[in-house]
Amino acid sequence: MMIQWQDATVVSKHQWDTDLYSLTIHCEQPVTFKPGQFLNIGLQHNNETLYRPYSLVNTPDQENLTIHFNAVRGGKFSPLLAQLSAGDNVLVPAKGGGLLTLDATPKRRQLWLCATGTGIGPFLSLLRSQALWQTFEQIIVCYATKTRDGMAYFDELANYRTQYPKQYHFLPYATQQSANDSQQQRFTTALINGDLDRLFPINAKDSHFMLCGNSAMINEMSDLLTEKGLSPHSRLQAGNISIEKYF
């Protein structure tokens, strides 16, 4: 099915770290999506329309669309995104997609949002949605990057602890750097050694996990959670593990 594109304009670009960006764009035409979904972003390049899916950081009620991405060196598309500046043109469809959404998630006591790198994007959109806070008793964010400098949106994620002190828990992991405000390990290790269970006992009745990021993390976390009695979640079979792989 051919994508029906709409014109959009770059509003701003923010660089968090080397090759790590957020791009904010504006589309005059309506774009429909749910918090947690992705949107195809298109570019005209050498008489060809190139496009890739990117999770939206913003919520549907915000005026502009924001994506968070790594510029992959040698890549065909993301370096072009990184070269854009305010006023440049991009293409977007009228509708987003993806199943990391509140209405596709079983209602359990705990929601674990586990992300590596730019996989934090859809979780930011969910956290900015008031409906999320009205649905789960406990929300735990596990966010892993190689370095502390690579933790985009750190302040926003940390500030939810002040707004929801009894409901929200933020667990940052900088796997290759020692920092005062993050742990130097992978959250898969924290699951293996019992650190996460000591925060809240993980079980099939109470826990739902959303995993977003690199495939190695997702595969390892899925295996570890399955060993604890949790199961994959799908449209056909309710479970405890929802995933979205980035690479």
**C-alpha span between 147 and 185 (Å, rounded):** 11
Per residue in 93-108, pLDDT (tens digit) is 999 999 999 999 999 9
Q: Is 40's pLDDT higher than 80? A: yes
Burial (CB count <10 Å: 0-12, 13-18, 19+), residue 199: middle
Average confidence (pLDDT) over 76-88: 98
Which architecture characterizes domain 102-245 according to CATH?
Answer: 3-Layer(aba) Sandwich (3.40)
Q: List where CATH 3.40.50.80 sits in the chain.
A: 102-245
- Tell me which residue of 246, 191, 196 sits closest to 223, measured CA to CA: 191
Average pLDDT, the chain: 96
Percent of the chain having pLDDT more than 90?
94
Per residue in 186-221, pLDDT (tens digit) is 999 999 999 999 999 999 999 999 999 999 999 999
Sheet holding 65-70, edge to edge: 48-55, 38-45, 89-92, 6-17, 20-26, 65-70
Tokens coding 40:
């195809």
Ordered alpha helix ranges (H), the chain? 78-82, 121-127, 130-133, 154-163, 187-192, 195-199, 215-227
Which architecture characterizes domain 6-92 according to CATH?
Answer: Beta Barrel (2.40)
Percent of the chain having pLDDT more than 70?
99
Query: Rounded to 5 degrees, what are φ and ψ at 213?
Result: 145, -145
Query: pLDDT value at position 2?
Result: 85
pTM of the model: 0.96
Q: List where CATH 2.40.30.10 sits in the chain.
A: 6-92
Q: Is 247's pLDDT higher than 80? A: no
**C-alpha span between 114 and 112 (Å, rounded):** 6
Query: pLDDT value at position 235?
Result: 87
Per residue in 160-176, pLDDT (tens digit) is 999 999 999 999 999 99
